[in-house]
Every structure is written in C-alpha cells, then in structure tokens.
C-alpha cells in the first residue's frame, strides 16, 4: 500500500508504502485491533508481538475457544487471517525491524508508588517500547500510540526516537521516525463490531505523509468522513475525555437511582424520559453496580492528575467526584445485602451471579463485583461465585485469596451457586441470567431468600409465585 501526502506548504511528500505492521502488545486492544486490520487489509502482513510466552501461545492455539481475549466474533476473524497475514510471536526485535508501522498497545496502569501514585499513569512499558523500537527499527518507521496515554506523552516517545535517528551500518537507509496518536474507542463485548464499523477513527500527528499512510490503512473499510485528523495533543486528550464523559453518565444515573429508591420513582422510567431528549440521548443511562473495565477509572484519575498538575484544582475535584460516587455505589450495594439479611451475613451463603465487569467479556479489571465481594467477605459471608467466562484463577487473583469453603468457592453453574443460598446478587448482565426459571431455582435457596438485582434485569411479576424478595437497583418497590 503506497500513500502520497502533501505538506503544509503544498509540496508532495515522499510516498510511504505500508507492507508490514507490527503491534507491541497482544492484549485486549492489540489482539482484536490487529486481527480486524489483517482481515480488512489482506495485502498487509500484521505481526502481533508480546513478551508473554503464555499469551502468544494462546493466540496461536488451534482451539479458538482458548484465545486470551473473549470477544463475540473475534474467533472467526482470527480463523480467517491467522497464518495468512496475521501472526503472533515473541520475537519482538525482528518484528520491529521488519515493520513499516509499529503500534504500541501495551498496558498503562495507574501508578502505585511515587509521584502521582493512585492517579497518574505508569508509563514504564510505553517507554520500554519506545526504546526497543529505537534500537531495532530499520529505515523510516511510523510509530503509532494505541495505548491510552496522558497528554503530551508523544513528546517523550519522540525524544527517545529522535536520539536514535541517523545513519546505520552496512549502507542501510538512515533510521527515521514519525509519531502518531491513534487511540482506541472500543467497548468490550462489542469490540469487533466497533472496529469493523467505528463511529470515528482518530489520528493525531504532525507528519502529513504518516497521517495519510495510517488513514489509508483504515480507509480500506472505514468511510473517509469518519477518519478525523487532529494534532497529537488533541488526539491524546480526546481518549481521556471520551471515557470521562461516559463514566460521568454512569455515575450520574446511579446517583439518581439511589434517589428513586428513596422517593418511589423508577430509574428506568426516569432514564427513558430524559433519554428521549435529543440533547441527552439514551445511551449509558442504565443504572447498575458502577462502571468497571480497564479504562474508565484509570483514565479519569489520569485526567484528575493532569488537571492538578496544571493548577486546575476545581476541575480535578469535579472529575474525581465521578470516581468517588462510583465506589460509593458499590459499597452501597454490599451494605444493602447485609441490611436486608437481618443485619448480618456471617456464615450465610450468598450466590454471586457474574464477576466480569460487563457481559460478553472475560475481563474483570476494576469490576464492581470485586469491591462488592470483598465487602461481603469482610462481613463474614460465604460466597458462591458463578461467571460463564471468567476463570476461577482470575477470581482468586482479584480477591487476593484462593477459593476456600469458608470464604468463597467457584461454581460451574447457577444451580450449584444457588443451592442453600440466602441471597443471589446479580452483578453482570449475562443473557443466561435473564433466562433463569426462578420457579425452579427458588426451592434451592434457604428462605426467606433475597435476589439483589444490581443490573435491573428482573421482573417483579416473574417472582410472584416464588416467595423470593427482590431488590432492584433504582426501584422503590423492592
């Protein structure tokens, strides 16, 4: 693929031919994104590299149910491309050397120590990637920030790459670099459809030829009108801002849900009424146990840190309140379980239905279930945890303790989880939980028994013959 671009002065920039793409990071962003690029651009060789031997082995497993990332439709995309123009490897240096374009899609967790601990992003892996690209790249390489990054991170990446520019041995072309920002806007559970039919593709940069080259890659299946071009800094900030606005809506509707419970209003009716306003819209107005996932909390806290760094304390306080209310919602639900079960859950079996942060993913990062389960364990409850996609080993890591009969146990099916339970707490909106026959399930539980519906999935009328008590988020009729 060859792209010709015009410089700001109108002169024709040198054409850039994209034949090989390398992506550093085979996780939730890198794997699906590169799979779709390979699927839609069969003339480009796509190499996804990662230092984790186990993760790469999972991507190469002949059993597609063992892919390290669960996303509806991902297995089909990988099946079409893997071995043709989609490859997974631990040979990072060789992949970088062969690439015309390198995507950086590594994790950027929140710092746990030092300056900015608890808010700022830990950029050690991004810096390590930049240094490895600087060391291994050949000729001209376009480096694309795909990870979520603080504003002006590209400056650090460019500084590292600029130090490596210049002539190389053996008369090879001089080593040069262009840096672009291309943040992802994927929703877990719909990542493949988000990639195949995106609302927009955002490319930030200063090099017209490099921007045109990346736009041409996406242009093989994305309408050019949806490919937006900005400067580097606007692109980096747009990702943080998008997630902050979405998370804000979730905290806002959850705050109203608590008011609905106190005033005999119904949050679903309120959400429908305000969502009909074209200025507001209906998306992200579903009350629940709070937001989770790898991005929302991390990105808001990053935004908070940046605002404080630039002296905008009032702005920082505003965005920090979104995270504060989200945590409050999770603690509130756990406290309600204790309250409804006669003020104590010591020794009581509580079925946890759903541990992933949302349906159609196996991702548990910042899942509301973690906080709620930890609160209930602290109160002395015995948890029976079921999730159709989350590995029990991951649950053990998230809870910080192995499964044990006196604390928590994983369950293979809902029936096992509910057997002898005093309550069921629905924390992930899996379709299978919507389809449960509670006339069959209710006799398994110890009565008086409760269902705590943290996702607003249950119908009161469906429980009339079961003698089950129901609390549903945002509804006063519980």
pLDDT tens figures, 19-62 = 999 999 999 999 999 999 999 999 999 999 999 999 999 999 99
CA distance 56 to 31: 10
The pair of three-digit structure tokens given for residue 354, joined into one six-digit string: 């759903």
Q: Which helix (H) or strand (E) holds 205?
A: strand 201-205
Assess whether pLDDT exceeds 80 at residue 173: no
pLDDT for residue 16: 84
Give the long-range contacts of residues 284-287, CB within 8 A, separation 24 or more: 284/246, 284/249, 284/250, 284/253, 285/249, 285/253, 286/253, 286/455, 286/456, 287/253, 287/254, 287/256, 287/257, 287/456, 287/473, 287/474
Does the pLDDT value for residue 166 go beyond 80? no
Q: What average pLDDT does the segment 117-136 reach?
A: 91
pLDDT band (50, 70, 90) for residue 151: confident
Q: What are phi and psi of 109, to 5 degrees?
A: -70, 170
Q: What is the pLDDT of residues 131-144, one digit of tens each?
A: 999 999 999 999 99
Q: How far is CA 1 from CA 15, 45, 212, 410, in A?
A: 10, 11, 11, 50
Mean pLDDT of 83-100: 97
Instruction: Summarize pLDDT for 201-222 with one digit per residue, the tens.
Output: 999 999 999 999 999 999 999 9
List, for residues 308-335, the tens digit of each pLDDT value.
999 999 999 999 999 999 999 999 999 9
**pLDDT at residue 6 tops 70:** no
Residue from 387, 381, 382, 344 nearest 369 by CA: 387
Catalytic choice (184, 268, 320, 429)? 184
Identify the band that residue 278 occupies on the pLDDT scale cut at 50, 70 and 90.
very high
pLDDT band at 147; cut points 50, 70, 90: confident
Q: Quick count: other Cβ atoms within 10 Å of Cβ 154?
A: 23
Catalytic residue among 295, 373, 411, 475: 295
Residue 9 — pLDDT band, cuts 50, 70, 90?
very low
The model's pLDDT over 345-366, given as tens digits with 9 standing for 90+, comes to: 999 999 999 999 999 999 999 9
Confidence of residue 170 (pLDDT cuts 50, 70, 90): low
- Asked if pLDDT for residue 171 goes beyond 60, the answer is no
Residue 6 gets which letter from DSSP? B
Residue 295 annotated as catalytic: yes
Is pLDDT of 165 > 90? no
Which pLDDT band, with edges at 50, 70 and 90, does 7 fall under? very low
Task: Look at residue 294 and tell me whether its pLDDT is greater than 70.
Answer: yes
pLDDT confidence band for 176 (50 / 70 / 90): very high
Question: Containing H/E element for 160?
Answer: helix 153-162
Query: Of 111, 146, 239, 358, which one is the catalytic site residue?
Result: 239
CA 256 to chain centre: 25
pLDDT digits (tens, 9 = 90+) for 411-462: 999 999 999 999 999 999 999 999 999 999 999 999 999 999 999 999 888 8
Least confident of 68-77, 122-131, 162-171, 391-400: 162-171
Provide the b/e sequence for 71-82 (b: ≥16 CB within 10 Å): bebbbebbeebb
Interhelix angle 74-81/30-40, rounded to 10 degrees, is 50
Range in 7-11, 74-78, 158-162 with the lowest mean pLDDT: 7-11
**What's the pLDDT at 1?**
58
- The pLDDT value recorded for residue 12 is 43
The neighbouring-strand residues paired with 451 are 424, 470
Instruction: Kindly state the average pLDDT of the residues 270-296.
Output: 95
Q: How far apart are CA 81 and CA 35, in angstroms?
A: 7
> Sorting pLDDT into bands at 50, 70 and 90, what band is 3?
low
Residue carrying the six token digits 């429908």: 272
Alpha-carbon distance of 313 to 247, in angstroms, equals 20
Residue 373 bears catalytic tag: no
Question: Who has greater pLDDT, 9 or 389?
Answer: 389
CA distance 167 to 264: 73
What pLDDT is attached to residue 8? Answer: 44
- Output the pTM of the full model: 0.88
pLDDT band, residue 11 (cuts 50/70/90) = very low
């Amino acid at each position: 693929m060859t792209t010709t671009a015009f410089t700001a002065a109108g002169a024709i920039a040198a054409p850039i031919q994209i034949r090989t793409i390398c992506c550093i990071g085979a996780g939730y962003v890198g794997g699906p994104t590169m799979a779709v690029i390979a699927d839609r651009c069969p003339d480009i060789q796509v190499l996804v590299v990662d230092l984790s031997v186990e993760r790469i082995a999972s991507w190469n497993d002949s059993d597609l149910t063992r892919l390290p990332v669960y996303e509806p439709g991902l297995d089909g995309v990988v099946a079409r491309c893997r071995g043709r123009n989609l490859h997974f490897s631990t040979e990072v240096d060789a992949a970088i050397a062969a690439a015309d374009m390198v995507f950086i899609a590594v994790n950027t967790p929140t710092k746990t120590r030092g300056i900015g601990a608890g808010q700022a992003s830990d950029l050690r892996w991004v810096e390590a990637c930049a240094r490895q690209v600087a060391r291994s790249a050949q000729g001209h390489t376009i480096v694309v920030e795909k990870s979520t990054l603080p504003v002006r991170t590209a400056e650090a990446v460019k500084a590292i790459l600029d130090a490596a520019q210049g002539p190389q041995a053996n008369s090879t072309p001089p080593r040069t670099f262009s840096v672009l920002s291309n943040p992802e806007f994927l929703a877990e559970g719909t990542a493949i459809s988000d990639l195949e039919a995106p609302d927009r593709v955002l490319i930030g940069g200063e090099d017209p030829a490099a921007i045109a080259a990346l736009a041409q890659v996406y242009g093989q299946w994305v309408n050019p009108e949806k490919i937006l071009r900005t400067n580097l800094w606007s692109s980096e900030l747009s990702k943080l801002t998008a997630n902050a606005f979405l998370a804000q809506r979730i905290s806002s509707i959850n705050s109203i849900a608590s008011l609905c419970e106190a005033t005999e209003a119904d949050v679903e009716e309120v959400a429908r009424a305000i969502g009909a306003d074209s200025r507001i819209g209906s998306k992200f107005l579903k009350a629940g146990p709070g937001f989770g996932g790898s991005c929302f909390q991390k990105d808001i806290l990053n935004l908070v840190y940046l605002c404080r760094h630039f002296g905008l304390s009032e702005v920082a306080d505003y965005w920090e309140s979104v995270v504060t209310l989200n945590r409050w919602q999770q603690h509130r639900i756990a406290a309600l379980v204790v309250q409804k079960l006669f003020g104590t859950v010591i020794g009581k079996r509580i079925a946890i239905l759903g541990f992933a942060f949302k349906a159609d993913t196996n991702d548990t990062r910042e899942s509301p279930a973690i906080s709620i389960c930890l609160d209930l364990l602290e109160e002395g409850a015995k948890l029976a945890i079921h999730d159709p996609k989350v590995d029990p080993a991951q649950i053990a890591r998230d809870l910080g303790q192995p499964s044990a009969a006196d604390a928590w146990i994983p369950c293979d099916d809902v029936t096992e989880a509910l057997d002898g339970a005093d309550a069921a707490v629905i924390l992930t909106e899996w379709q299978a939980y919507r389809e449960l026959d509670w006339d069959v399930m209710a006799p398994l539980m110890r009565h008086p028994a409760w269902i705590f519906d943290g996702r607003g999935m249950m119908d009161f009328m469906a429980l009339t013959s079961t003698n089950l008590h129901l609390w549903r988020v945002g509804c006063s009729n519980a």
